[in-house]
Chains A and B, each alone.
Chain A
Amino acid sequence: MSRRFDDLAQLLAPVLLVVATAIVGSFTSRAIEIYFLTAIVSVAIVVAIYVFVGNSGVLSFGQISFVAVGAFAAGVMTIPLESKTGVLPDLYPLLRDHTIGNFASLALAAVVGGLFALLVGIPLMRLSGLAAGIATFAVLEITHNLLREWTKIGPGATTLALVPETTDLVQAAIGTVVVIAVAFAYQRSRLGRSLRATREDPAAARAVGIDVHRQRLWAFTLSGVLAGLAGGLYVHMLGSITADQVYLELTFVTLAMLVIGGISSLWGAVIGALAVSGLDSFLSEAEQGVGVGFTIDLPQGARLVILGAIMAAVLVLRPSGITGGREFSLPRMRRSAPAAEPAPEGGGR
């Protein structure tokens, strides 16, 4: 009974946290609301990365590639037809002469992200350790290079503008909850458990008949689907995007969020994304001299120094992350008599 409730809580806690963030955000001014939006979309991106990196234990710098292709697919395909030929004249006719709606573009972003991940993953999932890290990084470089230079599929080095800004708090929250729910369902499934077994002990996992390559490929592809969807949400939030916005900096920041939250749990991915986004937003406001009980006025540029210092400090002092890599579990209630059976091991494994 209690264990079942714990399982449910592992899904509900991150979902409720995202919904709560959206609700709080809806009561703020437009200038502040963007912080909440950004935080929620960051959760989607970090959870997408977690699906592969957290469950497999293989470090990938390439997941932002899938965010990037998702964002560009959704962006290019939703620019109104009348302005498209003007701003993106070099596109392939198929892309130039068609425009799809908001929902369809998100679905497309997920599909494109997933297909790209599958294509890349088939050869790359044979690698592990540093070789995997560098090879996935190479994927990021190639994606960035193509998006920046290939004007038949996108805006090239210029900004992709005029994308409908359809990601409001509602769409961001729904999309992110979907990402969390899929990630949760995956990690509870047979596939997810098999992959987590390979993370803990590859040799033992092989010995019981788990195909490491195939399990990693499943997760990589699913991560690509979710990252593509997150990219779609992202571009519809920003309204315009460049290839540089979905490149190195986003890769490092989102990986840092994941590790700070706790790399091996969904709860950690969500907490890390929200904590770092929240801190960043707070520091941005503080840089502009905002009063929070007392007035803080940071010099320009101090935000990133403080953010970097806090991230480094958390990683050094608590390398397993804020959550210690454990899932959410309710605090043990002591309503029953103390003589009751010893508290069973929580579901946080």
Chain B
Amino acid sequence: MSGSLFLGALDAQTVVDAIGLGAVYALMAVGIGLVFGVLRLVNFAYGQIVMAGAYTLAFTSQADWPTWAGIAMCVVVTVVVSGLMDRLVFRPLRTQSPAVMLVTTFAVAFLLQNVALLVDVRDDTIGEPAASVASLNRAITVGGVEIRKVSIVAVVVAVVSLGLLALLLTRTRIGLQMRAAATDFGTARLLGVRANTVISVAVLLSALLAAAVAVILTVQNPLVSPDFALKDTIIVLVGVVVGGIDRLWTAMLGGFAIGFVTGVINGALPTDKTVFLPSVVFLLVILVLLIRPAGLFARGRTGMVERL
């Protein structure tokens, strides 16, 4: 890293890593946006679903499971945790105000994080290594540029899963129902869309995305701790709202943009130049929200329609 402030100092490695981070955040953004679409609920505890998946990878790796089995188990765990969260928390709160739902997901996040801490410190250290997936973190050389494999994996996984999701949403019956529910839940129900089915599918899909995110983030940072993915969730939430949470693709663009910007900034600027950078970034966030409250990429300036 040259240490220069100029963007000219951006090397290909930084750009690729930034795209990789943007891809991960885009996945998280869609995971959050899917649930928001049908429930009008911002799930702050989404990061803890990712964390649960990451711990599964760490523990299966320590138990010498093959990598594929660990990843399969990771999917199972994220689906189970999401399902429980939906059944025990989201369902009773469906008719509540957005503030109550959001604060409840804080409490759930706080709870899951501390459960993880309790499990983690049994061996008297905080943090569990996930060795089996760490091999993906090696660099390969493409055209003279060192690129970490995981950045490529992140981009490929993001493109494939978002592509499949787009097909599901546009080409299948359940996808159509989900889009209808996200637009106007009340009318959709009148027309025969089953609320519980649509919500369950959205939660399931967001859980699958969480599993993919868990794998990629664990590869990047193989030491899993209770606050795993917490900071990422906060950044993604900001990105999602700045992009426009009302629709999936604007949420996804917001997630990608904030991930890419974060990656470029972290890669290109020396740390002594970045102490006030969060202030600048969040000032920009405020400006964007003031100019376009419904989101940077949203049509029109009107805010979202609250459910019911």
Check A129–B276 contact: CB distance below 8 A: no
B residues less than 8 Å from A1 (CB atoms): none
B residues less than 8 Å from A309 (CB atoms): 111
CB distance from B92 to the nearest CB of A (A): 5
CB distance from B299 to the nearest CB of A (A): 16
Interface membership of A252, Cβ < 8 A: yes
A residues less than 8 Å from B290 (CB atoms): 123-124, 126-127, 135
| Residue in B110, B276, B294 whose beta carbon sits within 8 Å of that of A311 in the complex | B110
The total of chain A residues at the interface (CB under 8 A) is 44
| Contact A316 to B99, CB < 8 A, known contacts A137-B238, A138-B285 | no
Check B104–A130 contact: CB distance below 8 A: no
A residues less than 8 Å from B92 (CB atoms): 316-317, 319
Check A305–B118 contact: CB distance below 8 A: yes
CB distance from B287 to the nearest CB of A (A): 9
Q: Please tell me which stretch of A83-91, A99-107, A139-147, A190-198 contacts chain B, meaning at least 4 of its Cβ atoms lie within 8 angstroms of it.
A: A139-147
| Contact A256 to B304, CB < 8 A, known contacts A142-B278, A301-B118, A305-B111 | no
| Residue in B114, B237, B279, B282 whose beta carbon sits within 8 Å of that of A304 in the complex | B114
| Contact A255 to B106, CB < 8 A, known contacts A138-B285, A145-B276 | yes
A residues less than 8 Å from B242 (CB atoms): 134
Check A304–B100 contact: CB distance below 8 A: no
Check B237–A134 contact: CB distance below 8 A: yes
Check B99–A59 contact: CB distance below 8 A: yes
| Residue in A126, A135, A311, A320 whose beta carbon sits within 8 Å of that of B107 in the complex | A311
Check B241–A130 contact: CB distance below 8 A: yes
Closest chain A residue to B306, Cβ basis: A129
Check A127–B106 contact: CB distance below 8 A: no
CB distance from A57 to the nearest CB of B (A): 8
Interface membership of B275, Cβ < 8 A: yes
Interface membership of B201, Cβ < 8 A: no
Check A138–B118 contact: CB distance below 8 A: no
| Residue in B117, B278, B304 whose beta carbon sits within 8 Å of that of A130 in the complex | B304
Closest chain B residue to A138, Cβ basis: B282
28 A–B contacts from the bound complex (CB under 8 Å): A57-B99, A123-B286, A124-B286, A129-B306, A130-B42, A130-B304, A131-B241, A131-B303, A133-B102, A134-B237, A134-B289, A135-B285, A138-B282, A138-B286, A141-B279, A142-B279, A145-B282, A256-B107, A259-B100, A263-B100, A300-B121, A308-B115, A312-B107, A312-B108, A312-B111, A319-B96, A319-B100, A320-B100
The residues of B with any CB-CB pair to A shorter than 8 Å are 42, 88-89, 92-93, 96-100, 102-104, 106-108, 110-115, 117-118, 121, 237-238, 241-242, 245, 275-276, 278-279, 282-283, 285-286, 289-290, 293-294, 303-304, 306
| Besides A53-B99, A127-B293, A309-B111, 4 new A-B residue pairs in contact (Cβ under 8 A), listed by A number | A301-B117, A308-B112, A311-B111, A312-B108
